[in-house]
Amino acid sequence: MSLYIGLDVGTQSVKLLAYDADSRRVVATHGHALELISRDDGTREQQAQWWIDGIVACFAALSAEQRAQVRAISVSGQQHGFVPVDAQGQVTAPVKLWCDTSTQLECEEIMQAVGGEVRCVELAGNPILAGYTASKLPWTRKHRSDAYAAMTSVLLPHDYVNFWLTGERYTEFGDASGSGWLDVRTRQWSAPLLQAIDPQRDLAAALPPLVPTETTFALSAAAAHILGLPREVRVASGGGDNMMAAIGTGNVVPGRLTMSLGTSGTLFAYADRPVVDAAARWAAFCSSSGGWLPLICTMNCTVATETISRLFGIKTGQGEALLDATAPGAGGLVLLPFFNGERTPNLPAARGCMTGMDLHNTTPAHFYRAAMEGASYSLRNGFDAFVDAGLAFDSIYVTGGGSKSAGWRQLIADLFGLPVHVPAQAEGAGFGAALQALWADGHAQGDRASLAEVVLQHQQDDAALSAQPDPQRGAQYQAHYQTFLQHLHAIGPLYAG
């Protein structure tokens, strides 16, 4: 038995997935919950030590026999966090996370310094958003000046875990592209953006070297002792959670679209060229598999169906019957499901809006269908932007809580006109990290199979959950989608600016 470990260091928990490459089975999964520091000003922080404590706990849950069989580790980390580290390797401040919105002022200051959002996209491929790492540095300089002055390295969350595992400070292109200062076209740091972030300091000197995807490092003696692992274990380059989820869902070749139906909705795809949008409709990331990963996020996905369920007292498991009782179009109801504002399109001040109500369609079933359709139409709007950019797809891989709904899977297949598949392994990011570890270990041993070849050999679908598009229903959904767009264009200006 040869075990490959995927560590998923998220916001809510640390998860460990152990994959046996010989039997092609996940033989163990363990998790450890994390706390979150939250304040009314938008602060969302964690202590980096909490991640390490979680990792130690997860490895301790493996049997001694399992730990002895570990060959390599790869880390999937929550993106965009800022871990300031001093010369002695100590973290100098709490880690500001991707969901921290207290740095909006600093975002505006950085973009103003480089000449605005359009110029920012020209320089790096992305604007500076509040969630990205860039704005967290000037915020820390202002509010935690001692911690900032002591900082000698700027690390992302998965970089820091790799540092703890290996003693080496390094990063890779996928996670680094979410920092805000990597030019995704050239895969080099953007000097003008670094200057705008801190004009008094040479930030480039604090950035870790960028390493290729196939790079591995030795597990340090200290980490091996603490975790109870063999000294021969290698640590792969890892990546951000979206990048690892792409690997875990087989999204390592052109043509596959990964769709996450969670509280928010996410679409991302592999590309073998940079895919940058001048209007910044998507995040133009690099992948952690040697290519690029354009990503679109909608702010309201399962939150739409959950909100309607709460409104009408719809219980878990009743949604499928409500869908079956209604036809595409929800009897004329159209929901713009912008309960949390919206990012696609960029309408942060938007709110939910239901139109088309009459004496016959104001039923729980019609409202529930309208919620699911509205969330799906928002994703289709993002999909159309990808198609406009020249991307083409032959299948959709769905993950997240919404993927458990057979009705939703069929709706997506019909609306998008593509086969829908569900990965057999639900822990996409952790599984993707394990597969990267497997490939990188083989590469270090002289195996020249590509990452895509290895991933497609090991990633499997749950065939019972697949859905094929129905052309007749697809035509109906297409007409209702056009109605949705008309409502969006009419109501969107109310929330613009």
Do the domain assignments include residue 414? yes
| Residues facing residue 140 across a β-bridge | none
Last residue of a domain, one of 189, 213, 242: 242
**310 lies in the same domain as 362:** yes
Which range of residues forms the domain containing residue 29? Answer: 3-242
**308 lies in the same domain as 194:** no
**52 lies in the same domain as 201:** yes
Per-residue DSSP letter, 81 = -
Rounded CA gap, 103 and 144, in Å?
13
Q: How confident is the model at residue 158 (pLDDT cuts 50, 70, 90)?
A: very high
Q: How many helices (H) and strands (E) does the chain have?
A: 18, 24
**227 lies in the same domain as 335:** no
**344 lies in the same domain as 230:** no
Do the domain assignments include residue 399? yes
Work out the mean pLDDT of the chain and round it to a whole number.
97
CA distances to 14, 36, 229, 269, 414 from 258, rounded to whole Å, are 23, 28, 34, 6, 16
238-252, 279-293, 341-355, 380-394: least confident range: 341-355
* Annotated binding-site residue? 443: no
**356 lies in the same domain as 236:** no
Closest residue by Cα to residue 481 from 405, 393, 392, 417: 417
Active site residues: 241
Instruction: Look at residue 497 and tell me whether its pLDDT is greater than 80.
Output: no
Last residue of a domain, one of 194, 212, 242: 242
> Per-residue pLDDT averaged across 351-372, rounded?
98
pLDDT tens for residues 192-229? Answer: 999 999 999 999 999 999 999 999 999 999 999 999 99
Question: Residue length, the chain?
Answer: 497
Looking at residue 494, which CATH number applies to its domain?
3.30.420.40
**68 lies in the same domain as 206:** yes
**197 lies in the same domain as 279:** no
pLDDT tens for residues 367-392? Answer: 999 999 999 999 999 999 999 999 99
Positive or negative torsion for Cα 460, 464, 467, 470: positive
Rounded CA gap, 278 and 45, in Å?
32
Tally of domains within the chain: 2
**53 lies in the same domain as 145:** yes
* Annotated binding-site residue? 318: no
Note whether 63 and 119 are within 8 A (CB).
Answer: no
**350 lies in the same domain as 368:** yes
> Per-residue pLDDT averaged across 333-359, rounded?
93
Round the CA-based radius of gyration of the chain to a whole number and report it: 23
Q: How many CB atoms lie within 10 A of CB 209?
A: 10
Do the domain assignments include residue 53? yes
